Amino acid sequence: MNPRTVHLAVYDTYADWETGHTTAHLTQNGFTVRTVGPTTEPVTTMGGVRIQPDLALGDLRPEDSALLILTGAQLWDTTDDLAPFAATARTFLDAGVPVAAICGATAGLAREGLLDDREHTSAVSFYLDATGYKGGEHYRDTDAVTDGDLITAGPTEPVAFAREVFARLGVYEGEKLDAWYRLFHDSDASAFEVLES
């Protein structure tokens, strides 16, 4: 396993805003973020930004990664085009490599059966119920959830999502993790001093 490389899935209609905190602070703390697309052809985010993926999904191996991040996208709910990303998430989890999914990516994981036996969250419970998954009893109505190697969050919680990733990868811990969250989620200026100490 490469403990310092994180893979960010990118695809058309990718929700730009959901991983900015996560990837920026991972990079500032010594991680390399590599983008993974369906192919290496450019994709266009929901915000109209073109991204040239670093590698194609077919070339991604869990042993080369510390984490796979899956973001929301309109395509999760309108086509099966992103199903291979959910299947790759299964391969990662089976290999003991963490996966972090936010927004519509949680529905993709639900369709893949990855939420049937794990605690998780999403936008709302009935959003996942519509996938026909069997994990409703494990749904938690909270900002973000970590269950072992799986992190999930709803679309309005990019800061809580980042907090869970940082905790799982040991980027920030204890008082510093709490301070980071208070600064970026609550605009608590007193947290800045803790982060800088």
Q: Which residues contact 36 (CB under 8 A, 6 or more apart)?
A: 7, 8, 9, 10, 53, 54, 55, 56, 57, 60, 68
Instruction: Report H helices in the chain.
Output: 20-28, 75-78, 83-94, 104-111, 125-129, 158-169, 174-186, 190-196
Beta strands in 31-95 (DSSP E): 32-37, 43-44, 50-51, 55-56, 67-70
List, in sequence order, every residue forming a beta bridge with 102; answer none if it has no partner. 153
Q: Any catalytic annotation for residue 150?
A: no
What is the token pair recorded at 76?
A: 């999760």
Among the listed residues 103, 153, 169, 191, the single catalytic one is 103
How far, in Å, CA of 82 to CA of 55, rounded? Answer: 16
Q: Are 161 and 102 in contact (CB under 8 A)?
A: yes
Residues with a known catalytic role: 103
